[in-house]
Amino acid sequence: METPDFTEMPNLENLNMSGCTCLKEVYHSLGCSRKLIKLNLSHCINLVALPSIAQLGALRYLDLSECRRLTQLPELPPELYTLHEDCHVALKSIHNLVTKKKKSQRLTSPNS
């Protein structure tokens, strides 16, 4: 299972796909949804890949908890404030991203 093509959804602000256990990847056109604020992919246990989401400048909340097959994260948007993940996500990638954050921002994670 894949997500739909997001090309025609530039004003999408909230995408909740939590619990979509058949979801394997998110379509690369998610980057067209530049007004996306909240992305919940928690409990998508078969998710193996995320497209680049660095261009999602409005994204503040990303939930990847229980995404057990996700082994690496793409570059995250600079304004991301909350990242929920668990030990099944590549912690080294997360650590590298935290060190790039401005001191005035806080990247939260249950395991950090």
Give pLDDT tens digits for 35-64: 999 999 999 999 988 888 999 999 999 999
Q: What is the pLDDT of residues 5-27, one digit of tens each?
A: 899 999 999 999 999 999 999 99
Domain boundaries, the chain: 1-112
More confident site: 53 or 3: 53
Position 111 pLDDT exceeds 60 = no
**Percentages helix, strand, coil for the chain, rounded to the nearest 5?**
10, 15, 75
Contact of 90 with 64, CB cutoff 8 Å: no
Q: In this predicted model, which residue has the larger pLDDT, 62 or 103?
A: 62
- 110 pLDDT higher than 90: no
Q: Which two tokens stand for residue 46?
A: 């078969």
Question: Of the candidates 48, 62, 93, 87, which has an alpha carbon nearest to the alpha carbon of residue 75?
Answer: 93
Please write the tens of the pLDDT for every residue from 69-96: 888 888 888 888 888 876 545 444 553 4
- In whole angstroms, give the CA distance from residue 83 to residue 91: 12
Residues 6+ away with beta carbon under 8 Å from 99 = none
CA 105, 103, 82: angle at the middle one, nearest 5? 25
What strands, in cross-sheet order, belong to the sheet with 61-63? 14-16, 38-40, 61-63, 82-84
Task: Quote the pLDDT of residue 87.
Answer: 53
What pLDDT sits at residue 49? Answer: 86
